[in-house]
Chain A
């Protein structure tokens, strides 16, 4: 059970405080309700580039990192398709430093020209390091583009192409900031060796007078139900053939999401999972096979991705995957297997809660989803899924018209 207190400032900034006196540290986590899905399709990668710019100095403070390091702290941030999260961890005694820094960059950035120039290059190198200069690095660019027709999950957080980042202008940066980086579009979570009353005072002191902006109304295109299986092919200089298949699943807070998550575990959770046991160990068609999803807030994708054993034909590998799907969609799983994946899920949730940072981060995430209290109800949601639910959702998810497939061929 994760305890917390909540409070809302008059400018709309939501505050959650999680007290844990067993640690000398504190975490200050700010989650902004903006991700790559809020970008325009010809200006992708912007939410993430922007995250970099948030370290390039704010209106009253020339550099973000140094004062925090001087206070014995450190920080980082990440951007997903759904959100952007910034966090500082520092000795609880110095927590006000984090309030000072975070509130100033919420008030306004410095919009420094040099910072934009440099971070454009840094992000381009990040793009190259992870998506161009790695075998199979382009697979998710292609898959997102194939699976989504209109929804902005069509592109990756890093951006569709380098040029979108290279061409970002200061005007666009400013516009983006004032549209999304508003107190009423953010959640502040403070966790660790802190007292709620003092944190409320600090929040009022540092964030209280930041004016709230125009409320951002998210109005994303709705992905129409897929009516036909989609295929694509890539030929590249990679050592092994690979296959990737995805299926649309339900949004984060629906029952279908929890069922899909358990299905992912049944197929891909560890070495006793179905795909590993059948396709890697028994049939020896793949050297690696995984099943996963990204935990997307809006309807996401369940994925099976594998590398074929040299000499195995694509058609045979794919057929073997389909046989496993056939089994899951025609035979109800037994209670023991369902219990196994639920137990694994319980473990993961409990282990995640060890880390103060992870508790802070999850509180922010659930608040963003609509209710921080969901953090204590997750396990229940998984427990409610029955064998019959798994069968029913498997049938819905693995409808053949709902699938997207890429055959990735090695040309060497």
Chain B
């Protein structure tokens, strides 16, 4: 007779011997670094061009993001429609994104079509003209989108909590206003484009089923571009955190929920506490079985979801708790959050829970090492943060061996309510 009360035996995920498959590396004639992972089950690939052209390097607000956005909106020979049409015809998806330190141009394509697309991408890095009329349309539409977003409590909360932590002049803390868009000048964009794209530093990451002559193809189209692989990027910013730690803002009188953000500063990935803190973070609010989720969603029903996470920044970062809760229960949600933090400093977590969290984290990691499209983002993250595979293996070792006492000590060090900024936006 089947005993349904008895769980089947499990293989402890912590006993998995996790391996991070390596990438291949080569350089183009102009010194540009290329990282590749060949493989996968489908005949597709993803190629990502990463430039050191994030908002870290702009002199004026939103110049970096606008330049990135307009990259494919016109070159000397093609207008925006021609460019989009070319990629679309081959069923390819060309996206661009701007982050803090870096900005990217990413292509997803069937492997068979790569050769038709590479020259069109290369053109974007030297021949883009960032046309004035495209800039005008962009400004107008972005201002409209901003107006809609400013009605959302979560959007406001995300902007403000970053400002409180890093300061409005720090790349991680600043945000955009209508005025910033209106003040954009094409000349400034062209200057930024010339310095940080055409003559900038570019890294290339490719994952998927690669053609055998990939090195040759890349060299043909990108190996002669005037990139500066050795460009030195030193620009320092200091954080200027807010003085007042508690804020309550009414953005919408008729709002039925509040966006709550509770956050503290936290060091970067090179700090010895970083991985240990990831374990503590999981216990606090990092997964569905976390203390915050169990108490505030699954016991009290105050919210659809509450999460904590450490922001994925290259420089010093922040540890954040984030939720949207019913208007009447915002205060209670904040109170319960501190209660859970406090409990972690007062009581050792049980061996049973610790074992569960470790298995969960390792099992999850195993899932993210599955196939080139999963592995590449991890490598990219390491390379951009100046880390290597030791970081990966040390992290695993930390997860496998961390004790309840160490977790409590970390909680005492990092989960003090007085270190946290607290914001509610209705």
Contacts and interface: CB of A to CB of B under 8 A. Distances in A.
Interface of A: 20, 22-25, 59-61, 65-67, 69-74, 89-91, 93-94, 96-97, 99-100, 103-104, 107, 117-126, 128-129, 132-136, 205-206, 209, 237-240, 269-272, 277, 280-281, 284, 287-288, 307, 309-310, 336, 339-340, 343-347, 350-351, 353-354, 356
Interface in B312-349: 324-326
Interface stretch (B4-12, B238-246, B376-384, B405-413): B4-12
14 contacts: A59-B4, A69-B357, A74-B360, A93-B11, A129-B304, A133-B324, A136-B148, A209-B2, A272-B88, A287-B144, A344-B91, A346-B110, A347-B108, A350-B42
Interface stretch (B60-68, B213-221, B361-369): B361-369
A113 B298 CA distance: 13
Contact of B356 (A69, A125, A129, A350): A69
Contacts of A128: 256-257, 326
Contacts of B255: 133
Interface in B56-109: 80-81, 84-85, 88-93, 108-109
A20 B326 contact: no
Contacts of A23: 370-371
Given A122-B304, A134-B152, 13 more contacts: A22-B41, A22-B371, A24-B16, A65-B288, A72-B10, A126-B304, A271-B84, A281-B137, A340-B88, A340-B89, A343-B89, A347-B93, A354-B42
A107 B137 contact: no
A25 B367 contact: yes
A107 B2 CA distance: 13
Interface residues of B, number: 72
Contacts of A94: 10-11, 13, 363
B144 A69 contact: no
B140 interface: yes
Contact of B366 (A24, A123, A209, A288): A24
B192 interface: no
Contacts of A22: 41, 371
A70 to B, nearest CB: 5
B256 A133 contact: yes
The 10 closest A-B pairs by CB, nearest first: A72-B363, A121-B301, A72-B13, A343-B91, A347-B91, A272-B84, A239-B147, A96-B8, A287-B141, A287-B144
A135 B148 contact: yes
Interface string B166-186: 000000000000000000000
Q: Is the interface of A mostly helix, strand, loop or mixed?
A: helix
Contact of A118 (B80, B301, B356): B301
Given A239-B151, A284-B140, A344 B41 contact: no
B388 interface: no
Contacts of B89: 336, 339-340, 343
A90 B41 contact: no
Contacts of B357: 69
Interface in B285-304: 287-289, 297-304
B271 interface: no
Best-buried of A59, A69, A133, A345 by chain B (most CB within 10 Å): A133
Nearest to A276: B84
A104 B371 CA distance: 32
Contacts of B301: 117-122, 125
Given A72-B359, A240-B148, A343-B89, A91 B366 contact: yes
